[in-house]
Every structure is written in structure tokens, then in C-alpha cells.
Structure 1
Amino acid sequence: MRLKKNFWPKVPQDWAVTTFLWIIIPIVYWFELFVVLPVFYSIMSFWYCFHFILGTFILFNVVTNFMAIILIDTSIQGLILPTDMLGNWRFCSVCECIAPPRSWHCPICNTCILKRDHHCIFSGCCVGHNNSRYFIIFLIYMFIATIYATPYNICFIYNMIDISSIKSVICLIFPLAMVFVEFTWNQFFMFLVLIIIVGSAFTGFLSYYHIHILCKGYITPEKKMKVKIYDLGLMDNIKVVFGERWYLTWLAPFVESQVKHDGINWKEIETQKDK
């Protein structure tokens, strides 16, 4: 697996969002396991240890898959590509080379990306053939983490907040603004709970969308253009992204799972589809 030489975000908005994510993830982990969880279970009890271990496992997969998205190179740079125009290959005037089918040039990354789905502002890089497995698993674990924590957080906030005054209601409705106006730990906790609830809705939608197009054999540009020639059926579509050991990839990004394709020569799949 090729790793990027320059994995830093390229534009300010990518820097801002990626930095925010790297900061908020450990803060939320601390909040859930060391602030919220002791309210419901005594420390070192069975259920406390159970949720602590499960939460740490989820955090491990969130962080390691996120790092894999950022570090793994899914561009055409360094690849030996043919100089003749083949099939539906195309010439990229920016990269000044023949680009494979399903690859698209990213103006932010300034290179063509193999099987490019989109440029992800949260990781500051493109999601393509080599890192789409980690992106989807990252989304799923983020959704699991946020939806798992939300019921506990709602009960935690309900027991913590006094809604008998107008000020407390305003604090509940505008937690971020009140953090800067009058900082208290309770106000900060409400802000974190709001971030988690919004995160559960956002990652839930993204997880559904990307799992749906994965099962259909699409990438995002192909869905818009209704390109269906790479749809091999559910199981083969899953293996194109997650590899032969797809059923183990959820354990960790370090689990080896050889994918069915190199991301360059799609003629075999096109021919198989024609048959």
C-alpha cells in the first residue's frame, strides 16, 4: 500500500475542519467515559468496564481508519501508466498523462485520483480506490459512536439542566454562544452533546448514502451520470471496496483484505458486466 509523502491539508477550510475533528474526537471520548458514564454506573463495575472497553474499541477504529484515509495514497502519482489512449481512458491536461477510467482530477489535491469519489473536507484529501474502505468504516464507527452516546447524553443533560428560568432555556438552545458569553462546565457539556447529536444525524446520512452507492457499484460522479457498467452485483461490489476478507475489515484497518481490483484497468470488469 502506497503512503503519501505530503498528507497535510492543502487549503484553509480543510485545515480548519480536519483540526477540529482531531481535537473534538478525544474530548468527546473523555466526556463520555469519564463524565457521563460514571453518572450511570459506578467506576470499575461490570457495566462501566463493558462500556469503557466498547467505547475504547470504537475510538480505536475511528482514529485508525481516519489516519488510513489521510495517509494512504490513492492518486495516480508514481504509477506506471500506458501512453496510448485505451478504451474510455482520457487525457488529463493538468497531470499531462493518460488517466484510467473512473479517475478524476482533483483541483485541491492537484492530481488525478483513482476511482475518485469526492474530496473530503474532514480528512483534507480525496476518497478514492485505495482508501474508500477506511472512509466507509470510519463513517460507520462515527455513527455508531454518536448514536450509542446520544441516549446517555440526553439523560445526563436532562438531570443536569434546570429549565425553571429563561436564562437556563437560552443556555440549552444556544450552548455554543453561551460558552463564549459565560463559560461554565455545564454549558460546555451541553455544547458537546449538541455536537454529538448533530454528528449522529450527519454521519448517519453519509453512511447510508455511501453504503447505498457501494452496493450499486457506483462512485458519486457515476451516480450523477447514471453509469452502471461497473455494477457486478452486491457481493462483488462489496469485495471491490473491502476485499476478499470483507467480513473482517470492521475489526481494524490493519486487517489485510486483498481487493479484487487495482483501480487502473477496469476492462475486465467491463467485459464481465457485458457477459
Structure 2
Amino acid sequence: MRLRRKFFPRSLRDIGCFLMMFIFIPITFVFEITVVLPDFHDQSSAIYILTCLLGLFLLFNLQANMLACMLVDTSARTVLLTPPSNERQRQYWRYCSVCEMLAPPRSWHCSICDTCILKRDHHCSFTGSCIGHKNHRYFVFFLLYLVIGATYATIYNSIYFWWLHAATYVNWLTLVKIVFPMFMLCFDVSWQNFYLLIYMLNVIASAYSMVLIAYHTPYIMRGAKDCEKHAQRYDQGVRRNLVTVLGKRMKLAWLSPFVESELPHDGVHWENVMDDTEKHR
């Protein structure tokens, strides 16, 4: 698998989103392990140890899948492009005037990445890279573990703030800080406010990742990509659609981005998929 040479985010928005996510995730883990969990479980208890191990598993997969999205090169320049001789199949290829080449079906040019991306789904600001054919799997698991981790932390933190430490946090000033977080950061710097900021970010991350999962899942299940016309020609059934994204070992791929899961398609000659689909119909 080929890696990107320039994998750091390029735009200011991408840099900001990436740094926020890359720094926020490990800080949240440390906060949960050192501040929140000791109020729930004895540090020598089995449930505390198991919760810490689960947290490490989530932290590893979040960061590793995020980095995999950035590192894996999914551009059209990583493969040998051979347009089909068949005129009916060739009509789905298009000329990219920026890259000065014929781009295969489902590939589009990204102005931020400055290249054509194989089966381009969208540009992800949190990873500073386009999500396409070769790194779609890592994006899916990044989102999945973000939902699990952020929601898990939000539940623990909600009980910590609004029940165990209600005397400290449940007041009108807390509501002002939640609505106007800059007020909290600029005029009242303290550990309590820092804890509250982490809690707010967890709530936002949980809600936002749930929305993203709900948005992307129907596309993946139908074998489509974001905002794709005539996507029904690529629909091979739910299971084969999932394998196209997650690979042939998708039942194990969730364990780690280092688990090899070969994709059944090269991301270029989608006419094979279209022909198979037409036969089944």
C-alpha cells in the first residue's frame, strides 16, 4: 500500500480540525482515567482495570485509524490507468484538466489535495485528507470508535458533573459557561472550567459523530458514495457493498487498522461491478 508523501493538512480549517481532534482525544483519555473513573471505581478493582484497558483500545483505534486516513494514498496516480476500449464502458471516464489525465469512474478532483481521488467520497477536515477507495475503511472505523468513545465518556462525565459533584457544577453560572465557552476560557481560568470544557467537547463529539454515522451508513449499505448520481449501478447487495469498503476480512478489520483486509476491487474498472449488477437484474 502506497503512503502519501505530503500527508499534513494543508488548509487552515483542516489544520485546526486536525489539531483539535489529535490533541483532544488523548487529553480526554487522561482526564477519564485520572479524574472521573476514580470517583466511580476503586483503582485496584477489576472493573477499573477493565475500563482502562477498554479506554486504551478505543484510544489506539481512534488515533491509528485517523492517522491511516491521512497516510494512505488513495489518489488516482497510485495505479496504472488503462481506459477500456469498449465505448460503452469508456463513457464513464472523464478528463481532468487539472491533473491532465483521464480519471476513472467515481473519481473526482479535490482542490485541497490537488489530485484526483479514486472513488472520492468527501474531503475530511479532521484528517486533512480525502476519503476514497483505499482509506474508506479507516474512516468508517474512526467514526465508529469516535461514537463509542465519546458517548461512553459523555455518560460517565454527565454523572460525574451533574450528580457526584452537583454542588460544584449545578448552578446558573455553569449554564452561562456552556452557552458562552469563551467567557469561561478568557475570564475564569481554573481546573474546574477545564474539566467542564472537556465535558462539553465530549458531548459535541458524541452528537456530531452520531450524525455522521447516520449520514454515511445508508450510502455504504447501498454501495454508493456521497452525492453520487446513478449510484444504483454499483449496488451489489449489502454484504458485498460492505466488503468493497471494509475488505474481505471485515469481521477482523475492526480490531486494528494493522489487520490486513484486502479490497475486492481495484477502484478503477467499475464496469465489472456494473456488469455483475446488470446480470443479477
Secondary structure of 1:218's counterpart equals coil
Amino acid at match of 2:121: D
Contact 1:139 1:203 in 2 (8 A): yes
Q: Unaligned regions of 5+ residues in structure 1, if any?
A: none
Change (3 A) 1:8 1:163: closer
Q: Which runs of 4+ in 1 moved over 6 A?
A: none
Give the TM-score normalised by structure 2: 0.93
Deviation at 1:149, TM superposition (A): 1.4
Change (3 A) 1:143 1:166: closer
Change (3 A) 1:87 1:66: same
Contact 1:83 1:97 in 2 (8 A): no
Contact 2:236 2:277 in 1 (8 A): yes
Change (3 A) 1:36 1:251: same
Counterparts of 2:173 and 2:262, CA distance in 1? 57
Among 118, 121, 124, which residue is 2:122 paired with? Answer: 118
Counterparts of 1:63 and 1:212, CA distance in 2? 25
Amino acid at match of 2:224: Y
2:254 matched residue in structure 1: 250
Deviation at 1:190, TM superposition (A): 0.8
Deviation at 1:106, TM superposition (A): 0.4
1:198 matched residue in structure 2: 204
1:208 matched residue in structure 2: 214
1:160 aligns with 2:165: yes
Q: CA RMSD in A?
A: 1.6
Change (3 A) 1:194 1:109: same
Contact 1:146 1:196 in 2 (8 A): yes
Q: Percentage identity across aligned positions?
A: 40
Amino acid at match of 1:237: N
Amino acid at match of 1:29: F
Counterparts of 1:205 and 1:131, CA distance in 2? 20
Deviates more, 1:106-115 or 1:167-176: 167-176
Matched residue count: 273
Deviates more, 1:44-53 or 1:163-172: 163-172
Deviation at 1:53, TM superposition (A): 0.4
1:131 matched residue in structure 2: 135
Secondary structure of 2:231's counterpart equals coil
Deviation at 1:170, TM superposition (A): 2.7
